[in-house]
Amino acid sequence: MAAVHEAVALGPEGQPGKRPLFYARPDTGAVRVTLLLGGRAVEAALAGQVSRRLHAAIRDARVFPEGRPVAVVVKKMKDLDKVEELLAVKLGATGKSARPSHRKR
């Protein structure tokens, strides 16, 4: 019997939200993290705000009205750098902070 794996979607505060920052799902020996980049984020990324090693994945991603789903396979801790770069450009394009706020409510 095959194992069933569920994707996880997290919003800006690390909580499930209406507009997730990314989707993460288990893959063989890794985790596949997918971020949906809008037009401004794609332009910023390709203009140099992310490393060149991500440019091909961004260009090759299929274009949807909502944006481009860019996937990163995380096998090692250093692979998280790619995810962080994409999150920074995504949040920079939307004007949101990359860090969750810890203010009192």
Find all residues with CB under 8 Å of 21, minimum gap 6, and list them: 10, 11, 12, 35, 87, 90, 91
3-class SS of residue 94:
helix
Distance CA 85, CA 56 (A): 14
pLDDT of residue 94: 62
Both tokens assigned to 64: 């949807």
**Through-space distance between the first and last CA atoms of the chain, rounded to whole angstroms:** 47
Q: pLDDT digits over 32-46, tens only?
A: 999 999 999 999 999
Q: pLDDT digits over 2-54, tens only?
A: 344 455 665 666 566 567 788 889 988 999 999 999 999 999 999 999 999 99
